[in-house]
Structure 1
Amino acid sequence: MANNSGGGKGLYLIVGGLVVAVAVLAYFLFAPNEQPDLAIDLSDGIKIETN
């Protein structure tokens, strides 16, 4: 038989890691996008926009 001396600590570690990963992904998904002070676009001609 397996010795269950861990008491489920591995399960708590996995669940805690998943909670942290979901929180970080939600922060990056819903955080307001900050536009840079200077944006240079070279696709159709040259556009330089300042904030």
Structure 2
Amino acid sequence: MVSIAGSKKLKRQMAPTFWGITRKDKRFVVTVKPGPHPKNYSIPSAVFLRDTLKLVT
């Protein structure tokens, strides 16, 4: 069966460049659930805390 909502996974290589994450470190990254904002201009809070600020391991 095919999911109507689409894939919930995002590979790191396909993530937007403004996220500022390493591309070849791991395979997958957290997807965006943007709400009222466009998906192209959103960054997941997990990516921001873990990869940008280095607060969470």
Instruction: Choose between structure 1 and 2: higher strand proportion.
Output: 1
**Pair member with larger Rg:** 1
Instruction: Choose between structure 1 and 2: higher helix proportion.
Output: 1
TM-score, normalising length from structure 2? 0.18
TM-score, normalising length from structure 1? 0.18
Q: Which has the higher contact order (CA 8 A, sep 6+)?
A: 2
